[in-house]
Amino acid sequence: SERCAHPNVWGGSALSTGVGGGSGTKTDPYRLSAAAHFVSVSDYFAELVAQTDDDVCSTAHFRQDADVDLTAALSTFAWVPIGEDDDPFRGLFDGQGYAIEGFTLDSDRHASGFFARTVNATVRNVVLSNVDVTFQGTKVGALIGHAERTELTQLRVSGDAAFGASSKEAGGVIG
C-alpha cells in the first residue's frame, strides 16, 4: 500500500499523484524527475504536518531519476523542509548522483534545510548544486538541519550559504 496517503492531505489524494510514480516503499520508491515532483513532496509534508500529527510519510522511500533544476519553481514556491522536529524523516532518499540545481531557502526556523530533521534515515548520492541558503536559526544546513543516527553517503553541496549571528550548529551541508 502507498506510504503517503492521508485522508486530510490534498483532499485525500496520495503523494503518488504529484510525483513520477511509485508507492513510497523500499521496492517501489517514489520517483522524482522534475521540479514539480520535488515541490509536491515539500507541499505534501508541509500539509501533513499542518493538518495532522500523523507521521504516515516519515518512512517513505524516494529515488531521484534525473537532474532537476528548482530555480524557476522556487521563485514562486517557498520550500518547506521535509521532516519536522516532532515528525522527522525516517525513510530513504537516494539521489542516484543526479543534481538538484538551484535550491534556495531563507529560514529563521530551528532545524532547517532541504530536510529539517532526519532520524534513523538514509540519505545518499545527493548532489545539491548552486544552492543559495540563508539561515538565522539553530541546527541548520543546506541539505539537513538536524541529523540523528542518519546514514549519509556520497553527498555534495555547492553554492552560497549565509548564517546569521544567532545561528548555532550550522553547516553548509548539515547543521
Tens-of-pLDDT digits for all 175 residues of the chain?
788 887 877 777 888 888 999 999 999 999 999 999 999 998 888 887 777 666 668 889 999 999 999 999 999 988 889 988 888 999 999 999 999 999 988 877 778 789 989 999 999 999 999 998 886 777 777 899 899 999 999 999 998 877 776 667 766 787 7
In this structure, is the dihedral angle defined by the CA atoms of residues 12, 18, 155 and 115, taken in order, positive or negative?
Answer: negative
Report angle CA 7, 118, 158 to the nearest 5 degrees.
115
